[in-house]
Amino acid sequence: MRNRLAVVGGVVFGLLGVGLAVVGGGYAYLGSAAQARLGRTWPEVKGKDIPIPFPLTEAEIEALRQEALAALPPPVEGAEPAAPVDPLAGVDLQAIAMDRAVARGKVLVGGRLPCTECHGQDGGGTLIVDAQPVWTWYAPNITRGGRTKDYAPSDWDRIVRHGVKKDGTTATMPAVDFMSLSDQEVSDLAAFFTSLEPKEAAQPDTVIGPVGRMLLATGTMPLSAELIDHAKVNPVYPPDPALTVEYGGHVAATCVGCHRVDFSGGPIAQGPPDWPPAKNLTPAPDGLAGWTEGDFLRVFHEGKKPDGTAVAQPMAMVTKLNVTDTELKAVFMYLQTIEAKPTGE
């Protein structure tokens, strides 16, 4: 009897050992597969060498010239006419261009682009999501004292519109939201963040938990660099702010990180478990069918759905952005024109 128990015990412990080895091997595989996605390089993504600041247009320069001419003292009656002089001679047009770029960038990050929600008002970075066992996700310090201190213009383009880091590897940044920005908008963002006071402190590294590794390994958690068409040619300038489908589509492009590229919504894989699915924004029965422009505006003005219930995170955060009614109405106009699709799974 004792011998039988010893044999049975040996078998049980043997099976347990095999099971633990299998589990350990599976865990190691998930970790390796997750790291392979994050460590993938993108040699074809060079980044565009956009000017920072964006140069003044001919119209802007001419307007400055006319302002300078208007400020000149009137000619003295009877005096010999002075030789024509360019009133902009000696004027630092580059400095003016930088001031205007920083001002435009400030409007962008204080408006429809949620940059400071992740990187902080001072650009020093923040904790975005603490949702272990998925991940603890930090946004880095992007001031001149932090991650971007050695950035060339092409590096700004690579991270913002392509989701690829300076070293060529895959970033966790939701760059898919910014992939449709114009050259000028990317330049303005870079000008704004480099104008901030340099911060020396670095944020901790993002920590991927066991569930996060599984989501990455299985492709369930999206990475922007894998979703973006890196061969896409972006516009040099953004569309003029107006109640047009074109402008609405440009603004709505910053919503795809949660609402998906086709705007069908569904579970937000990179968010904490308590985040509800993103709303289907297509004109489908389970989307915006039946919504009025007023319903859409109410979400942002009051943080409430058409039935009067409050919106939850992360949409509650989005409603705090300083988005103009022109932007909101144009977005709603655009969303009425896209293909109706069932909510994404």
85 is a domain residue: no
Amino acid in position 224: S
113 shares a domain with 201: yes
291 shares a domain with 243: yes
Boundary residue ending a domain (238, 255, 284): 238
233 shares a domain with 252: no
202 shares a domain with 146: yes
155 shares a domain with 208: yes
263 shares a domain with 230: no
179 is a domain residue: yes
**pLDDT at 19 (0 to 100):** 41
Number of structural domains in the chain: 2
139 is a domain residue: yes
**pLDDT at 320 (0 to 100):** 78
228 shares a domain with 97: yes
Amino acid in position 111: G
Per the listing, tokens 């030789």 go with 83
67 is a domain residue: no
- Whole-angstrom CA distances from 241 to 187, 191, 250, 261 are 18, 21, 10, 22
113 is a domain residue: yes
CATH number of domain containing 285: 1.10.760
Boundary residue ending a domain (211, 238, 265): 238
196 shares a domain with 49: yes
207 shares a domain with 263: no
At 322, list the tokens: 């300083």
Q: Would the CA dihedral through 26, 27, 30, 36 be positive or negative?
A: negative
At 228, list the tokens: 């973006």
225 shares a domain with 111: yes
74 is a domain residue: no
List the domain range (segments joined by +) for residue 315: 239-345
User: Would you call 38 exposed, middle or buried from its count of C-beta atoms within 10 A (0-12, 13-18, 19+)?
Assistant: middle
106 shares a domain with 221: yes
331 shares a domain with 192: no
pTM of the model: 0.86
24 is a domain residue: no
Boundary residue ending a domain (210, 238, 266): 238
Phi, psi of 119 (to 5 degrees): -95, -5
CB 278 within 8 A of CB 289: no
297 is a domain residue: yes
Per-residue pLDDT tens, the chain, 345 aa: give them: 444 444 444 444 444 443 433 444 555 778 799 999 999 999 999 999 999 999 999 999 999 999 998 888 887 777 676 667 788 888 999 999 999 999 999 999 988 998 988 999 999 999 988 989 988 999 999 999 999 999 999 999 999 999 999 999 999 999 999 999 999 999 999 999 999 999 999 999 999 999 999 999 999 888 999 999 999 999 999 999 999 999 999 999 999 988 999 999 998 877 777 788 999 999 999 999 999 999 999 999 999 999 999 988 888 778 778 899 999 999 999 999 999 999 986
**pLDDT at 82 (0 to 100):** 65
